């Protein structure tokens, strides 16, 4: 019966009263596209381009190789939306030719956008390849930078996109608390935000995402994390711009309802989670999601937040 209910779950993501929340897929490359299409993803909310760079950690892949991979993903979503993240190297994703070997704290060092700003040629090649890959396709391309700390980072990225002649929307990932605290400033430079809740939890709680012993603090139900999500979504709303979530948090159906209640405008996740999130979201109104979000934020722990949201949504 569960399988039947899920296969009946198709169409765009929305609450029971019709508030649309596009459900997008996280992909690592063309190989992940069939599952995303099968799950009814409305597009891609996070294309992690690192995979292309993993074959050879001594140099960047050629422009031609990049164009072919980007085009294969873009072609799969005609008329859809595809959000490509430029290379996020360093820390948990080191690359020899970009990542300094001698940093005491790689997660706090030169990683993500910081590496690309230190290697403008690598960023330029990637943006040019994206621009060429999208040529002639009706797809709605969005390009975002990982690990944006402040307005200056957002501006440097937007400048690089403009210099490459990229015809796309430029965005910033919110993965560092400073970007959430000053989301309105960041939004002066870019057109959308996307919350990377995995790193945002890591940096908010000073809890390494690769260390199991501190996993309690990596729980995306932590009320402090929900506060930062709310702050970012409110800033985007005030600026008339969008604010999605592309971290693991979006794949928890109950949390997806809470994120919707906090004002998040799209949810991106591994394809396998999309049907579950779609059916759960369709059970509740936007007002119920908002009440669940307020109840969760009013608690003092991840566990209490989860129970509080559950209680609201089950009508207790």
Minimum separation from the CB atom of position 109 to ligand PEP (A): 15
Minimum separation from the CB atom of position 50 to ligand PEP (A): 8
SS3 state at 237 = helix
**Which of 196/263 has CB closer to Mg ion?**
196
Q: What CA–CA distance (Å, rounded) separates 255 from 257?
A: 5
Alpha helix (H) residue ranges in the chain: 2-7, 33-38, 50-53, 63-75, 113-118, 120-134, 151-163, 177-181, 183-186, 197-205, 223-238, 253-261, 274-281, 286-297, 302-313
φ/ψ (deg, to 5) at 6: -70, -40
**Which of 88/239 has CB closer to Mg ion?**
88
Minimum separation from the CB atom of position 196 to Mg ion (A): 4
Minimum separation from the CB atom of position 90 to ligand PEP (A): 10
**Which of 128/198 has CB closer to Mg ion?**
198
Q: Where along the sequence are the contacts to ligand PEP (CB under 6 A)? A: 46, 48, 88, 175, 196-199, 246-247
**Which of 30/146 has CB closer to ligand PEP?**
146
Nearest to 268 by CA among 47, 7, 50: 47
Q: What CA–CA distance (Å, rounded) separates 134 from 168?
A: 9
Residue 247 interface partner, choices ligand PEP, Mg ion, none, CB cut-off 5-8 Å depending on type: ligand PEP
DSSP line for 73-92? HHHTSTTSEEEEEP---BTT
Q: What CA–CA distance (Å, rounded) separates 218 from 212?
A: 9
**In this structure, are residues 43 and 22 in contact, taking their beta carbons and an 8 Å threshold?**
yes
Minimum separation from the CB atom of position 201 to Mg ion (A): 10
Q: What CA–CA distance (Å, rounded) separates 127 from 143?
A: 9
**Which of 7/105 has CB closer to Mg ion?**
105
Q: What CA–CA distance (Å, rounded) separates 267 from 77?
A: 17
Handedness of CA 45, 195, 264, 166 (dihedral sign): negative
214 token code pair? 């501190």
**Which of 197/288 has CB closer to Mg ion?**
197
Q: Where along the sequence are the contacts to Mg ion (CB under 5 A)? A: 175, 196, 199
Minimum separation from the CB atom of position 60 to Mg ion (A): 20
Residue 189 interface partner, choices Mg ion, ligand PEP, none, CB cut-off 5-8 Å depending on type: none
Minimum separation from the CB atom of position 175 to ligand PEP (A): 5
**Which of 80/196 has CB closer to ligand PEP?**
196
Minimum separation from the CB atom of position 220 to ligand PEP (A): 9
Query: What Cα–Cα distance (Å) separates residue 17 from each residue in 8, 252, 276?
Result: 18, 21, 18
Residue 197 interface partner, choices Mg ion, ligand PEP, none, CB cut-off 5-8 Å depending on type: ligand PEP
**Which of 66/202 has CB closer to ligand PEP?**
202
């Amino acid at each position: 019966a569960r399988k039947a209910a899920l296969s009946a779950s198709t169409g765009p993501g929305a609450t029971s009263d019709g508030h649309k929340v596009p459900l997008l897929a996280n992909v690592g490359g063309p190989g992940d596209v069939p599952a995303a299409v099968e799950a009814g993803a409305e597009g891609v909310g996070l294309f992690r381009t690192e995979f292309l760079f993993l074959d050879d950690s001594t140099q960047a892949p050629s422009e031609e190789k990049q164009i072919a991979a980007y085009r294969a993903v873009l072609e799969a979503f005609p008329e859809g939306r595809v959000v490509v993240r430029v290379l996020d190297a360093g820390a948990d994703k080191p690359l020899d030719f970009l990542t300094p070997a001698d940093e005491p704290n790689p997660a706090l060092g030169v990683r993500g956008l910081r590496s690309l700003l230190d290697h403008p040629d690598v960023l330029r090649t990637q943006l040019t390849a994206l621009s060429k890959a999208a040529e002639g396709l009706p797809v709605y391309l969005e390009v975002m930078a990982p690990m944006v700390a402040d307005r200056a980072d957002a501006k440097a990225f937007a400048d690089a996109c403009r210099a490459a002649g990229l015809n796309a929307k430029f965005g910033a990932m919110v993965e560092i608390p400073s970007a959430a605290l000053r989301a309105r400033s960041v939004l002066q430079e870019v057109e959308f935000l996307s919350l990377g809740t995995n790193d945002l939890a890591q940096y908010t709680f000073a809890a390494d995402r690769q260390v199991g012993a501190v996993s309690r603090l990596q729980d995306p139900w932590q009320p402090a994390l929900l506060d930062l999500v709310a702050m970012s979504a409110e800033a985007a709303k005030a600026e008339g711009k969008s604010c999605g979530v592309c971290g693991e948090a979006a794949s928890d159906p109950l949390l997806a309802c809470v994120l919707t209640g906090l004002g998040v405008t799209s949810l991106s996740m591994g394809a396998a989670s999309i049907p579950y999130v779609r059916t759960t979201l369709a059970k509740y109104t936007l007002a119920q999601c908002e009440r669940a979000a307020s109840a969760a934020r009013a608690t003092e722990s991840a566990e209490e937040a989860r129970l509080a949201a559950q209680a609201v949504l089950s009508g207790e």
